[in-house]
Amino acid sequence: MKSALLAALLAAPVLCLAQQNPSPSATPPAADVPVALDPVLVTASRTPQPQSRIGAATIVIDRAQILAAQAGDISELLRFHAGIDIGRTGGPGQLTSAFIRGGESNHTLVLIDGVRVNPATSGGAALQNLSPDAIERIEIVKGPRSTLYGSDAIAGVINIITRSASKQQIDASIRGGSYGTVDGSAAYANRIGAYGFSVQTELQRSDGISACEGGGSDSGFRNNSVNVKASADAGVALIEARAYNTQGKVETYDSCSPAFGLNATAQEFRNQVLALSAATRLLDNWDSSLTLSRGEDRIRQYGSPDTVRTIRPMLDWQNTIAVLPGLRALFGGQVSQDRVDALSFGSTIHQVIDLYNGFLQAQYDNDHHHVQLAGSLLNHDAFGSRFTWNAEYGYDLYRRELYKTSLIAAAGSGFRAPDASDRFGFGGNPDLDPERSLNLEIGIRQRWGAHQTWDLRAFRTRYRDLISVQFDPSNDPDVDFGFQAVNVDRAKNSGIEATYRYVDGVWSGTLTGIVQNPKDRSDDTSLLRRARRSVTAQLRRDFGIFYASTDLLGTSDRADVSPVTGGPTKDSGYVLWNLGGGVKLPHGFSLAARVENVLDRDYQTAAGYNQLGRAVYGALRWEHR
């Protein structure tokens, strides 16, 4: 199946040629032929840009895809895009990691409406707690963006954009199915003149499965989420207040190693973002915005005194100036403070770190040339000043009507400071150096007519001072049970990824594939939980009031560590196939159903941790506009 998918991916450009003739004598498309829209993204440059003009590799997951997926959390949306490997330690609510292009999970910066939510303890954001119902779209940028967003954005950025009020709308839904899953949500949005307000709330419940292979009891999950936005156009400025809060409880195990015992436990969690922003036009060509935010990430363990809490107040200032036609300058900065209080395996952590980041960016676009140059200077309390940069260039080699061929070159550097757990937690090492990366890529992007696009990229990323927890047999009393975080000398990843999209108003589909080789260069071993080859396919067909969809993922095996022996092992490759469909009913109702893991594959994305088998879900939704 993986071979067939890869063949289909490679054949996509040939199919384009067979269906469209891009020669100068081609007949222009009829005026009534629907044209696939070019999505506009903000995350890649902090300013609105059509996706076709962005040098970095990007992904957009829109509201229609989110609704059709009936996903329990955003990782279920991300995994059907090649180049994003998901590692989940069990069923719903269990710790989940995303590896973009072979980078570590804490090399991916996660934002909610532009505000960072990565904790200052473990580094990786709690993807398993972020429910999709309040999300309008997800923008993903592959490659470093430390220049614009500071520490952590080494491998990429995931920006979760929540729903806002554009007009009056009321909706409610209920979803249920396998493993005792019951979700309910409700939302209200309205805009009256210069004022807008929206609120969404969702309750999730699941009996789950046993997180550990060989475990006895199921690991249940419950989650309550609320997202509120209020805005006012005061004439001189647009003011918006936002609040996002998700909290709940998840049952899990202390460890999946029989040596330590499979002891069932539980923990409570809370992830919160509060923000107040104001945007204004200082001059006819000068836009400015200021955002004050406060993020909180908290975990409290049952059965032990362990607790983790991060609070991050941040001030973000951004300015965009139209210097000349086609030329824009962006400058600004962030001031933030990471406050950490934690107790982990008997280690007490109290850390307060101040961070300052200033950035400058220039963008130039004309008929054929698209340039983006950016640089930033980050000052970290513990590690001093660091400079990062990005440079991207796109050249439209061929343009005529709905046909365009673009050549792309991009390069950039990234920076990640060791978090509090790296330095002072279990196995911590206060003498760690920051992680650094350098990314190079070239590509070609092609639009064929009104409906088809494809994108081919070759990339190479090098990491310096990568942090890894390793066993130290020296019996050093300062080393926790022989384990300590150290800086691995070097790591690298190189590969090729391709994407093909087709959208015509009735059919919509995406094929993606990647071949990569993430390696620890100190011992030439593969980096953990990252597949060397994967391919995905997503297809949807609309039949008037009905739709049908399918998602397919094929991935090769992945290196891992056995929870039983502590030695190297492999997570076997697998194929995951989902089917879905829905129908619009009278009076604003709609009904949808979905079968996940149709083939009932037994697979693992983290050694020793179970994954869901075949599951069936149904959802009833009502909307009033």
Average pLDDT value for residue range 549-565: 92
Q: Is the per-residue pLDDT at 134 higher than 70?
A: yes
Extended strands (E) in 504-614: 507-516, 519-520, 525-526, 533-543, 546-555, 558-561, 568-571, 574-584, 589-596
Average pLDDT value for residue range 296-315: 91
Check residue 181 and give its pLDDT.
96
**What's the pLDDT tens digit per position in 243-287?**
999 999 999 887 777 766 677 889 999 999 999 999 999 999 999
Q: What pLDDT band is residue 35 in, cutting at 50, 70 and 90?
A: low
Residues of 586-595 as b/e, b for ≥16 C-beta within 10 angstroms? eeeebebebb
Q: What pLDDT band is residue 36 in, cutting at 50, 70 and 90?
A: low
Average pLDDT value for residue range 515-543: 92
Q: Where is average pLDDT lowest: 14-18, 353-357, 429-433, 615-619?
A: 14-18
Check residue 261 and give its pLDDT.
67
* DSSP type of residue 127: G
Q: What pLDDT band is residue 427 in, cutting at 50, 70 and 90?
A: confident
Q: Is the per-residue pLDDT at 514 higher than 90?
A: yes
**What's the pLDDT tens digit per position in 139-164?**
999 999 999 999 889 999 999 999 98
**What's the pLDDT tens digit per position in 49-68?**
999 899 999 999 999 999 99
Q: Give the domain ranges of the chain.
A: 2-20+35-214+222-624
The amino acid present at 106, given as its one-letter code, is: N
Instruction: Give the residue among 165, 167, 200, 168 at the shortest CA–CA distance from 184.
Output: 200
Check residue 476 and give its pLDDT.
55
**What's the pLDDT tens digit per position in 306-361?**
899 999 999 999 999 999 999 999 999 999 999 999 887 777 889 899 999 999 99
Contact (CB, 8 A) for 188 and 167: no
Check residue 5 and give its pLDDT.
40
Instruction: Give the residue among 218, 72, 80 at the shortest CA–CA distance from 615.
Output: 72
The chain-wide mean pLDDT, for the chain, equals 89
Check residue 30 and give its pLDDT.
43
Q: Which residues contact 24 (CB under 8 A, 6 or more apart)?
A: 400
Percentage of the chain lying above the pLDDT 70 cut: 92
Average pLDDT value for residue range 496-514: 95
Contact (CB, 8 A) for 465 and 435: yes
Q: What pLDDT band is residue 123 in, cutting at 50, 70 and 90?
A: low
**What's the pLDDT tens digit per position in 435-492?**
999 999 999 999 999 999 999 999 999 999 988 877 655 555 555 555 788 887 788 9
Measured distance CA(96)–CA(101) in Å, rounded:
16
Q: Which residues contact 49 (CB under 8 A, 6 or more apart)?
A: 40, 41, 42, 363
Average pLDDT value for residue range 524-530: 90
Residue 402, phi then psi, degrees to nearest 5: -100, 20
Q: Where is average pLDDT lowest: 87-101, 110-124, 253-267?
A: 253-267
Average pLDDT value for residue range 108-129: 90
Average pLDDT value for residue range 357-382: 94
- For residues 227 and 17, the model is more confident at 227
Return the CATH class of domain 2-20+35-214+222-624: mainly beta
Q: Is the per-residue pLDDT at 13 higher than 90?
A: no
Check residue 399 and give its pLDDT.
86
Check residue 472 and give its pLDDT.
57
Measured distance CA(188)–CA(580) in Å, rounded:
27
